[in-house]
Amino acid sequence: MQGRRLLMIPGPIEFTYEVLAETSKPTLSHVDPQFIEEFGQALEKMRKVWLAPSGQPFIVAGSGTLAMELAVANITEPGDRVLILHTGYFSDRMGDIFRRHGAEVEVVASEPGDVAGVKAVKARLAAGSYKILSITHVDTSTGVRTDVHSLAKVAAEHGALVLVDGVCSVGGEALDMEAWGVDIALTASQKAIGTPPGLALLVASRRAIETFRARKKPVSSYYCDWSNWLPVMEAYEARKAAYFGTPAVNLVRALNVSLDQILAEGMEARLARHARHAAAFRAGMRAMGLSFVPARESLYANTLSAIWYPQGIDASVLGLISEEGAMLAGGLHPAIKTRYFRVGHMGMTNAEEILAVTGAIERAFARAGWKSEPGAAVAAAQRMLLG
């Protein structure tokens, strides 16, 4: 950390040296045999990380928002009814994208930091004929995590497709895509997948692909149309070159390395590490007398934490935290934006970084005038890590 600040925002995150090394290599042609092999490997590894052995992976140059639109544009036609489970800023964004593609959107509303229960969603699904249930697995704006497994079961009872915005969850939270009956799970490279920003990633189920192929009207977005991208993904996986748009060669190579690291760690061990580090960080914050935006513990995400500013402390403390060696994020949800801050702890984050960011927050809050026992936060986090 000497001479630089630890990046602990909810993405981009810290990346491993091996992943970063791929981005600095001379760029190969997108039809170079080596790149064709690496692209094909990355697609195959995505199935293992998503736990979707029969799913169709897509790797497209773009952001997480593009991944959202790649999902929506291809399974939505004008007039389709969509139910969105609201958890924050990115649930709102998903609704906007659905509306742009002609869907009739209804929302299961909630207060900031909360989410409606499975029974409420079940009642709404039973009351109307919905084509799609859209779920934000972890909303980056609030740190709220939803129960995708239970929600997908309810959706299956009513024949609805399940779209999961996993931008802040895939690779860091439990998501058994095929076993749970999720039809599309999407993310972005710069989050728990551990690759620099620039790749929109998603896996579509067979049912999602069948829905796309059965649509009556063409996809309204040229760049997002699976008709253009599906032949490319199929070709590279068959170790053949294909072209629609030039892939982000170095980022795809970096993704292939990151997926290797994820699978080498093992999904079970990786998820357990995220849960352990999140619990340690929260223990440190509690030891300082701080509380969290999610309304109850069952909603706490393992990939990031959203923390209320206590009385007498405001966003100016983020500058002090930066001076102490860690870059954190301010609030994002419009209704509470000035009242909280956010800390990312995902990807290859290790125990040393959890302790470092906890210490930086503790020192900065002390400088800002917050009274708590010196060292209590780091000690609490350390106890949790050792436990």
Q: pLDDT tens for residues 109-142? A: 999 999 999 999 999 999 989 999 999 999 999 9
Please give the Cα distance from 238 to 206 (Å, whole number).
18
**Residue 83, class by beta-carbon neighbours within 10 Å (0-12 exposed, 13-18 middle, 19+ buried)?**
buried
Strand ranges in the chain using DSSP code E only, listed in sequence order:
6-7, 56-61, 81-85, 104-108, 132-136, 138-139, 144-145, 161-165, 184-188, 199-204, 304-308, 326-327, 329-330, 340-344
Which positions ≥6 away from 25 have C-beta within 8 Å?
Answer: 250, 253
* Cα four-point dihedral sign 355, 254, 68, 12: positive
**89 close to 332: Cβ distance less than 8 angstroms:** yes
pLDDT for position 74: 98
Cis before 26? omega within 30: no
Phi/psi of residue 28, nearest 5 degrees: -85, 160
Please give the Cα distance from 301 to 76 (Å, whole number).
29
Please give the Cα distance from 270 to 341 (Å, whole number).
25
CA dihedral of residues 7, 12, 17, 21 (deg, nearest 10): -140
Q: Which helix (H) or strand (E) holds 285?
A: helix 267-287
The one-character DSSP state at 300 is B
Rg of the chain (C-alpha set) = 21
Which positions ≥6 away from 330 have C-beta within 8 Å?
Answer: 315, 318, 337, 341, 342
pLDDT for position 3: 60
338: helix, coil or strand? helix
**What domains are defined for the chain?**
6-12+266-386 (3.90.1150.10), 17-265 (3.40.640.10)
Beta bridge partner(s), residue 307? 292, 341
Phi/psi of residue 334, nearest 5 degrees: -55, -35
**306 close to 294: Cβ distance less than 8 angstroms:** yes
pLDDT for position 2: 53
pLDDT for position 387: 87
pLDDT for position 4: 75
129: helix, coil or strand? coil
Please give the Cα distance from 35 to 47 (Å, whole number).
19
Of 5, 75, 56, 323, give the one whose Cα is nearest residue 203. Answer: 56
* Cα four-point dihedral sign 117, 120, 123, 127: negative
**383 close to 286: Cβ distance less than 8 angstroms:** no
**Residue 115, class by beta-carbon neighbours within 10 Å (0-12 exposed, 13-18 middle, 19+ buried)?**
buried
pLDDT for position 10: 97
Mean pLDDT per 10-residue interval, the chain, length 387 residues: 81 97 98 98 98 98 98 98 97 98 98 97 95 98 98 98 98 98 98 98 98 97 98 98 97 98 98 98 98 98 98 98 98 98 97 98 98 97 96
135: helix, coil or strand? strand
pLDDT for position 117: 96
**193 close to 173: Cβ distance less than 8 angstroms:** no
**278 close to 64: Cβ distance less than 8 angstroms:** no
